[in-house]
């Protein structure tokens, strides 16, 4: 059975959602002391998840067998996102402009990998063993391989990229060029991994901040106008735009549903694509990252 895990930055907890019934099963409190935590993104790890915390500058390991926080690891300034490969957590630290490689098994920092300014997301593709980060303030993405972190490449993209992910085949990188805070709409940029050149650029709604892709479709949430853009990955065309309202922050797909965080109203929106219906699920405050497995 799959579950959805949502990082609630404003209430320092993680909502656990049943994606079939769209009910909140439980909420895991991450506060271990008096300070703010700010869970921002999460990644599956062993029998639980690892959460990247923007305010406490830590990673939190949640063990599902215990149903509570198992351990905290101090990493670096403003942990925005995390991906795990071979027991190593690769953490985007926004305020230090680095990717920290942290050995979770031996509990020690192994390496600081330079990237652009204000890295906001990190993704990993197992087929080519490549990482990519989106660097908001330098308007570029950084790529490197897990086997050779000395070969770091920065690729110029559009303004304020908030997310960069790989297509399932590992041949392209999809970048959400948000233009956040401006009067302009955003774009989705498709970049070839092979030659680092743009294959296509698609204009979407206002301020796309998160993206999710299947083999055939890409979904982009537009924070500034409360819409979701649906893009055909075969011809790189926007085929539909769905209005959900609110300030949409994170998105995943589950069967025929889109599951979208509304950062303003503190809810999860479950939208049935086939029936064109939505359900609202109250969760924690300021939901950001969302994952499912």
Q: Specify the pLDDT at position 148.
A: 86
Please give the pLDDT value at position 150: 86
The reported pLDDT for the residue numbered 267 is 98
As a dihedral over the C-alpha atoms of residue 106, residue 111, residue 116, residue 117, rounded to 10 degrees, the angle is: 70
Give the HSE-up count for residue 244: Cα atoms under 13 Å, Cβ half-sphere.
39
Question: Strand (E) positions, 179-266?
Answer: 187-192, 198-203, 208-213, 217-222, 227-232, 237-243, 248-254, 257-262
Query: How much is the pLDDT for 177?
Result: 98
- Residue 128 sits at φ, ψ, to 5 deg, of -110, 5
* pLDDT value at residue 176: 98
| Mean pLDDT (10-residue bins), the chain, 293 residues | 96 98 96 89 96 97 84 94 97 97 96 97 96 98 93 96 96 97 96 96 98 96 98 96 98 98 98 96 98 96
Q: How far apart are the first and last CA of the chain?
A: 8
Q: What distance in Å separates the CA atoms of residue 6 and residue 124, rounded to the nearest whole number?
A: 20
pLDDT reported for residue 147: 87
């Amino acid at each position: 059975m799959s579950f959805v895990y949502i990082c609630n930055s404003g209430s320092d907890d993680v909502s656990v959602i049943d994606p079939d019934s769209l009910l909140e099963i439980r909420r895991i409190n991450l506060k271990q002391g008096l300070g703010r935590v700010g869970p921002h993104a999460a990644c599956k790890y062993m029998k639980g998840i690892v959460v990247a915390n923007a305010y406490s500058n830590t990673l939190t390991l949640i063990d599902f067998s215990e149903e509570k926080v198992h351990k905290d690891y101090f990493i670096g300034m403003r942990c925005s996102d995390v991906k795990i490969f071979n027991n190593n957590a690769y953490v985007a630290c926004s305020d230090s402009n680095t990717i920290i490689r942290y050995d979770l098994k031996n509990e020690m920092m192994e390496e600081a990998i330079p990237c652009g300014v204000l890295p906001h997301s990190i993704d990993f593709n197992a087929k080519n063993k490549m990482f990519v980060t989106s660097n908001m303030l330098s308007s570029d993405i950084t790529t490197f391989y897990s086997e050779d972190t000395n070969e770091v490449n920065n690729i110029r993209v559009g303004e304020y990229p908030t997310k960069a992910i790989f297509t399932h085949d590992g041949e392209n990188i999809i970048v959400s060029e948000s233009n956040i805070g401006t009067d302009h709409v955003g774009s989705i940029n498709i970049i070839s991994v092979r030659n680092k050149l743009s294959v296509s650029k698609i204009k979407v709604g206002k301020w796309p901040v998160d993206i999710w892709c299947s083999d055939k479709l890409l979904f982009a949430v537009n924070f500034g106008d409360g819409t979701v853009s649906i893009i055909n990955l075969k011809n790189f065309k926007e085929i539909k735009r769905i209005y959900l309202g609110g300030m949409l922050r994170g998105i995943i797909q589950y069967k025929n549903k889109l599951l979208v965080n509304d950062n303003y109203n503190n809810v999860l929106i479950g939208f049935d694509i086939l029936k064109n219906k939505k359900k609202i699920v109250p969760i924690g405050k300021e939901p950001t990252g969302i994952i499912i497995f």
